Amino acid sequence: MKKKYCTAIVLAAGQGKRMNTKVRKQYLLLAGKPILYYSLKVFQDSDLIDEIVLVAGAGEETYCRERFVEEYHFTKVKKIVSGGEERYHSVWNALKETKEEGYVFIHDGARPFVDGAMIGRAYEEVEKYKACVVGMPVKDTIKLADANGFVADTPPRNRLWMVQTPQVFEAALVKEAYGRLMEEEISGVTDDAMVVERMMEFPVKLVEGSYENIKITTPEDLKQAEVFCRGE
């Protein structure tokens, strides 16, 4: 079967308020390089990825082109678009710049530990199911709370997953889903799979990611990422 065209959307427009720094979290250094560098490098090096659309904070497009695309020779970054008010606005801005055919990989730029094997597993599954997300089974028992902070339910742990990125979809499917979302402006959307699930009523396959595929959101996450970089 011929490989289909694959676009990676890398989101780097988040403000990172929980990091408590003036610098956006994706620009902070990790082992001597910006956090955003690592995911861009993986998609650049992947034989499965044909192009990258980078989503930057409004007004930071030129900075991202000079700091990442030109400095590190990320030739697959074909477009840099401005982010929106919410994550799903940023994704929509990028989707409008992608092809109608093939597959779209949507990835958080603050997840530096995506790897080629993960991209390969996701590609195999999206070929079969048209929609998949990487993640890992939870290790802890999860409690569902009621409005007053009491335990309302304890879901079976063997059916619970921590969802990560990349989240991968047939291009036409995810573009239609986001188009419908933007018409209805439904609140509470936290990931791309939720958009496809709600707007299209389409099943999404779970794919093995990695427990190291963390999103760097807080100073504690950055410390953990430094440990991973040292191989400890």
Domains and CATH numbers, the chain: 6-136+164-230 (3.90.550.10)
pTM of whole model > 0.85? Answer: yes
CA angle 36, 97, 73 (to 5 degrees): 40
Which amino acid, 160?
Answer: L
For the cut 70, the answer to whether the pLDDT of residue 18 exceeds it is no
Q: What is the mean pLDDT of the chain?
A: 94
Q: How confident is the model at residue 184 (pLDDT cuts 50, 70, 90)?
A: confident
Which tens digits make up the pLDDT trace of 137-171? Answer: 999 999 999 999 999 999 999 999 999 999 999 99
Which of 160 and 22 is assigned the larger pLDDT?
A: 160
Would you call 43 exposed, middle or buried from its count of C-beta atoms within 10 A (0-12, 13-18, 19+)? buried
Percent of the chain having pLDDT more than 70? 95
User: Measuring CA to CA, which residue among 15, 14, 62, 68 is closest to residue 39?
Assistant: 68
**Whole-angstrom distance, CA of residue 226 vs CA of residue 48:** 28
